[in-house]
Amino acid sequence: MAFYYEHPKAEIPHGFSERRKLYVLHHVMNFGFGLAKFLEKVGIASEIEVLRTLMEGIPPLKDKQLFIKDLIFEKVEVRLYQPTISTTGQRRGILYFHGGIGLFGSIKAYEKTCRYLAAKSNSVVVSVGYRLAPEHPFPTQFEDCLSATIHFMRTAQHYGVDPSRIIICGDSSGGTLTAAVAQALVHRRDLPKLRAQILIYPFLQGMDFNLPSYQQNKGVPILLKERSFSLLFRYLNKDVALIKEVCKCTHVPQDLQLKYQKWVNTDYIPCEFKTRGYKPSPAHSFSQEIYTQCKPFLDTVFSPLLAEDSVIAGLPETFILTCEFDVLRDDGLLYKKRLEDHGIKVTWCHLQEGFHGTVFITLWAEVAAFQSGAKGMEKIINFLSLM
């Protein structure tokens, strides 16, 4: 199954202050996708291997502020970051689940992100190196993250961490995993309760891909709508020929349509997020065949926004970061509403000039730092300081 490799023009809204920098980033990414395809074609390396290597970037130098060690938590590779400065008590602990649509990303790729979190928040950070698709099919990624989290919760004091101050955090698909792990722990009575969850521009639902943010930002780098669909289908090992049908919502039975409308509904998205244009999608007939092939899209591990009310009501305090120029913006807005409707305390950070990936890119490549990314990370560190 091939990736999506066409190089569409970037659709960056006028008035975006860092327009030129985002254009450059868009072309660099297009080059990376094209290079990966070429190297596979000539037999040097598979496209997915090339893209994973490119995402890892240049390793940072040693950091005297941190003690860094590779460990294994329940057969899952992790990297532990502990501040070297002395402390009078136990620290907070942060488990970080990286992004990459379940196909890319790694401990190495997120080295700078986790170092920054550990140093700036004076926390013990555990970067989880969950196994990737397609070699390890969905939901292996969730299972690895859950196993690593449970192990850390049970052994937190061994690493100088207060078990009552454990936070899980992730960006993009790592945000999906964060939400899914938090939900899986809601009814556990043999473990300490999570202190908080941090969702950074998360993907949260596979029901409606025609929300305002999908329509408005389909051509905005870096998460182009068509390319993201191609990668999502690769992650779930589904035929990309099904994309058009899934976009029409033909994979959702009528009874589930009615049920999910309580949670996934454009009426719940504030009017100010529809001003750049939104056109309601026409209704299409349900297809049993499409539903059968695309059931994972409605699995709450893949779509945490579709979890039952009893689960949502038990979630910990939450930080949600959304970006104006991101197809996933409305997933975050809808989840925010669901949590607040159930009395969950939510700290919301909306980056008015933010785009998908801005926080990761700002830390990953300092020369490509974006003001929105720096602001987002500042807000995350401020939130952590209260935990």
Residues noted as catalytic: 172, 326, 356
How many CB atoms lie under 10 A from the CB of residue 268? 16
| C-alpha distances in Å from residue 173, one per residue of 176, 228, 302, 349 | 5, 11, 9, 18
Q: How far apart, in whole angstroms, are the C-alpha atoms of residue 314 and residue 304?
A: 14
In SS3 terms, 195-258 reads as: CEEEEECCCCCCCCCCCHHHHHCCCCCCCCHHHHHHHHHHHCCCCHHHHHHHHCCCCCCHHHHH
Contact 249, 266 (CB under 8 A): no
To the nearest 10 degrees (0 to 180), the angle between helices 140-155 and 173-184 is 60
Q: How far apart, in whole angstroms, are the C-alpha atoms of residue 311 and residue 301?
A: 13
Q: How far apart, in whole angstroms, are the C-alpha atoms of residue 349 and residue 357?
A: 15
Intra-chain end-to-end CA distance of the chain, in Å = 44
Q: What is the SS3 assignment for 94?
A: strand
Contact 221, 355 (CB under 8 A): yes
User: Of all helices (H) and strands (E), which one includes residue 349?
Assistant: strand 346-355
Contacts of 119 (CB under 8 A, 6+ apart): 63, 65, 66, 83
- Comparing CA positions, the residue from 204, 189, 380 lying closest to residue 305 is 204
Would you call 192 exposed, middle or buried from its count of C-beta atoms within 10 A (0-12, 13-18, 19+)? middle
The C-alpha torsion from 177 through 183 and 187 to 189, rounded to 10°, is 40
